[in-house]
């Protein structure tokens, strides 16, 4: 594999990018919002059932603070809040897809999957 940049020169921008999207919950949240359709808090929570309310709120707030997610509150009763991605996520989605493909390959090789996601649960049931 040929590198056009030295790995040393990648460290600073990589650290910066990971500071924005790193952590256990930010990437799953970004993937849920990636279709461009506004999502309510409960919709996001339903798609990531193992996340606590505190961690979901904190992660959404951090993504909002770094201008990746927009929070829109409506003046309605009951209150309604929706979250959407800001800007074009296609640049970020491509490397995430590659990372997911890499993860799939290594999960298959190791025979491991996560206990939480529906696709891994479905695969585990089929493998039995």
Q: What is the CATH code of the structural domain delimited by 7-127?
A: 1.10.10.10
- What are the sequence ranges of the domains in the chain? 7-127
State the pLDDT at residue 117: 62
In this predicted structure, what is the pLDDT of residue 124? 47
String of DSSP letters for 61-128: HHHHHTTSEEEEEE--SS-EEEEEE-S--HHHHHHHHHHHHHHHHHHHHHT---SSSHHHHHHHHHH-
Q: How far, in Å, CA of 50 to CA of 118, rounded?
A: 12
Q: Cα 85 to chain center, whole Å?
A: 11
pLDDT for the residue 11: 85
Task: Give the pLDDT confidence score for residue 116 in this predicted structure.
Answer: 56
Whole-angstrom CA distances from 22 to 1, 16, 18, 114 are: 26, 10, 5, 18
pLDDT along the chain (128 residues), means of 10: 67 89 93 93 96 98 95 94 87 85 86 63 49
User: What pTM does this model have?
Assistant: 0.76
Beta bridge partners of 84: 70
pLDDT at 95: 87
């Amino acid at each position: 594999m040929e590198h056009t940049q030295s790995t040393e020169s990648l460290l600073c921008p990589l650290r910066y990018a990971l500071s924005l999207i790193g952590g256990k919950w930010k990437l799953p949240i970004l993937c849920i919002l990636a279709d461009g359709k506004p999502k309510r808090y409960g919709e996001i929570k339903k798609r990531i059932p193992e996340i606590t309310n505190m961690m979901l709120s904190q992660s959404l707030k951090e993504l909002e603070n770094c201008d990746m997610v927009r929070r829109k509150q409506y003046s309605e009763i009951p209150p309604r809040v929706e979250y959407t991605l800001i800007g074009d996520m296609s640049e970020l989605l491509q490397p995430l897809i590659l990372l997911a493909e890499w993860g799939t390959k290594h999960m298959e090789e190791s025979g491991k999957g996560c206990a939480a996601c529906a696709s891994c649960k479905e695969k585990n049931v089929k493998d039995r």
